[in-house]
Amino acid sequence: MTSQFFANVYLNPFDHFIKRTLHVKGYLRYVDDFVLFADSKEQLLAWRAQIIDFLHVKLALRLRDEGILKPVTDGLDFLGYIIRPHYMLVRRRVVNNFKQKKARYLEAYEHQQGKMGLTEIKAFLSVQASFKAHAKHANSYRLLNTIGAIHESDPFSFDRR
């Protein structure tokens, strides 16, 4: 996507500032979301002040909010996942959004009494494939087995395990 590409180009100096000037060892960034890891709250607050200044002066940007300072053991809510030290889960909101879309699909099928168009079927199967691909990056074996899947071969039924 062009927005991701241009974010990487524009924020490249920011990445270099974080790694080479601040010497942050634990740093993640995806487009405009980023996370810093440190051993102390004081270190994070000091970096934050320097980051605010750098973004304002060098890139004409500002941080959206105050950010969240908390221990890693509390879990990190990042890019649709809850990341913990030894495992990763799909964010509850992502799961609930998929469940709602699936319920709307099944309701539409029942309402149309089995005469659903191929476009609608393919649209939902695309949503389902995206959800499954997202969930596969997390510890989601049970989730994928309990949420039920609608199959391309018979898009009007699904597994209820």
Domains of the chain: which residue ranges?
A: 2-69, 88-158
Tokens matching residue 146: 């309990």
Tokens matching residue 11: 């924020």
Q: Return the pLDDT at 52.
A: 94
Phi/psi region, residue 149 (left: phi>0; alpha: psi -120 to 50; beta: rest), is beta
CA atoms within 13 A on the CB side of 115: 3
Q: Return the pLDDT at 161.
A: 44
Rounded to the nearest 5 percent, the helix, strand and coil shares of the chain are: 55, 15, 30
Tokens matching residue 22: 């601040």
Q: Return the pLDDT at 22.
A: 96
Residue-wise pLDDT tens digits, 136-149:
999 988 888 887 66
Q: Return the pLDDT at 3.
A: 84
User: For the chain, what percent of residues have pLDDT higher than 70?
Assistant: 91
Residue-wise pLDDT tens digits, 26-54:
999 988 889 999 989 999 999 999 999 99
- Is residue 156's pLDDT more than 70? no
Q: Is residue 85 within 8 Å of residue 76, measured between CB atoms?
A: no
Residue-wise pLDDT tens digits, 63-118:
887 788 888 888 888 888 998 888 899 999 999 999 999 999 888 888 887 677 88
